[in-house]
Amino acid sequence: MNKINPFESAMTQLTKAATVIEKTTASKAAKKSLQQKMEILRQPKRTVNVTLPVRMDDGTQKIFQGFRVQYNDARGPYKGGIRYHHNVTPDEVKALSFWMVMKCAVADIPFGGGKGGVIVDPKSLSVDELERLTRAYGRALADIVGPDKDVPAPDVNTNGLIMGWLLDEFIKVQRQKAKSFGKKLSKSDEQRFRGTYNGKFIKDGGSEGREEATGLGGLFVLEAILAKLKLKRKLTVAVQGFGNVGYNVAKFLDETGFKVVAVSDSKGGIYVPDGINPALTLACKKKNGFLAGCYCSGSVCDLRKGKQVTNEALLELPVDILVPAALENALTKENASRVKAKVVLEMANGPTTPEADAILYKKGIPVIPDILSNSGGVTVSAFEWEQNLKGEHWTKKYVNAKLKAKMVSAAGAVWNASVKYKIDLRTAAFVVALGRILAAMQ
Ligand code: GLU
């Protein structure tokens, strides 16, 4: 169905930003150096393919395919989530790892970028099967990850439970390695190694605020950009996606005075003109297994209060803010001209193709790009990593205040670049990121 190659889209975005930078590069030598670095940035430094044999509950064996792409580490260890999805492809993971390089640079955290993926529909596995698959993947990654090498975290369909299993396998391998040299891991090593995976449960060394950080970061970025656009609150919102990110961004927007009128998951969406109560809607969805009929507004769910909408129709609703928070390629050249929102806040990675970007730009609809708007998650991952390295545990208030400062500063830098060079916000975010990455590549 979806033939658009996300890595090609990513490279188109890179080229566009490189052109802006080239115009400001004066000397021949500097131009040559820029070209050479761009060549490096057009491919990942390392791609690891893993084969994961897993014993299924019925005694049979199934082989799963996994990947880890380590794209660039000029600014620090590789960093990025692990995705479990039946449609994972090598080029998708490559694109996602590239976007992580850019994202960490925009957020100005000391990391490069990477991404992992396993081709699996996790809903088709039992919890025991999911654990065996995850542990096999964790063992396969054990040599290439670590707090100073590559620091994974959750992404689509992965969470704290999965991070805990991965970390457990990593630490087991480190203990075995130490043992083979007749040594024991020191307490401080065990502590530091916790920083290898982020998005862990608090009991495993996770950070306060990490689970909702992507959604909260999205709110901070949106508020910063709306202030620049001089758009007031009381705006209506449609959110595509109701996973961790979609749910949390809907929740924070609702709490802050926005009116969330539509949400959806992979099975379809709902439209509730009075405004959705995200927490009640989630509880209803958990009970029923689907969103249809969960027309929850205020403190009640009422079948008369809403209607079903398809994922496609949700994107074209007459709302002020459209939030694609599901997967890549939601907005394409097929539907971008029908978008009615005043602003797009990208909470998924890569939801808008370059063709759709051009259409939306022409229509005067600002697209707040993924590498800025969803960078709250990786930012609190960086805080988690720092806490693990220092053996500290910060309060939620402190974490959220630090997150806000980072998001406001990133949004400001991107806005200023867009004004300075008269470019769209995505290209501006790339220009900001590239400036920092190129400097680190010296
Ligand atoms: N998967 C998230 C992202 O795409 C978080 C990555 C991380 O925390 O390393 O930004």
Model confidence, pTM: 0.97
β-strands 296-297, 78-85 pairing: unpaired
DSSP labels, 71-93: EE-TTSSEEEEEEEETT--HHHH
Above 80 in pLDDT, residue 233?
A: no
pLDDT bucket at 157, cuts 50 / 70 / 90: very high
Q: Which atom of ligand 1 is nearest to the CA of 79?
A: 9
C-alpha distances (whole Å) from 431 to each of 149, 167, 418, 438 are: 26, 35, 9, 10
| Tokens representing residue 198 in the block | 């982020």
Above 90 in pLDDT, residue 415?
A: yes
316 shares its domain with 393: yes
Region 101-108: mean pLDDT is 98
111 shares its domain with 260: no
Q: φ and ψ at 69, to 5 degrees?
A: -105, 125
Region 69-78: mean pLDDT is 98
Cα(231) to centroid of ligand 1, in Å? 29
Q: Which atom of ligand 1 is nearest to the CA of 96?
A: 4
62 shares its domain with 167: yes
Asked which of 204, 226, 253 is the last residue of a domain, the reply is 204
Q: Which atom of ligand 1 is nearest to the CA of 99?
A: 4
Task: Give the pLDDT confidence of 40-65 residue by residue, as tens digits.
Answer: 999 999 999 999 999 999 999 999 99
**Measured in Å, how far apart are the chain's first and last C-alpha atoms?**
42
Judge if the beta carbon of residue 107 lies within 6 A of ligand 1. no
For a pLDDT cut of 70, what percent of the chain falls above it? 99
257 shares its domain with 399: yes
Region 374-399: mean pLDDT is 98
Query: Is the Cα torsion angle 280, 259, 374, 308 positive or negative in sign?
Result: positive
Region 240-267: mean pLDDT is 97
* Predicted pLDDT at 2: 52
Above 90 in pLDDT, residue 389?
A: yes
Query: Is residue 249 within 8 Å of residue 408, measured between CB atoms?
Result: no
Q: Which domain holds residue 218?
A: 207-442
Region 385-405: mean pLDDT is 98
Please give the positions annotated as active site: 115
CATH number, domain containing residue 365: 3.40.50.720
Cα(296) to centroid of ligand 1, in Å? 30
* Predicted pLDDT at 184: 94
249 shares its domain with 197: no
Q: Whose CA is nearest to atom 10 of ligand 1?
A: 378
257 shares its domain with 388: yes
pLDDT bucket at 4, cuts 50 / 70 / 90: very high
Q: How many domains does the chain have?
A: 2
228 shares its domain with 305: yes
Above 80 in pLDDT, residue 257?
A: yes
Task: Give the pLDDT confidence of 318-342 residue by residue, as tens digits.
Answer: 999 999 999 999 999 999 999 999 9
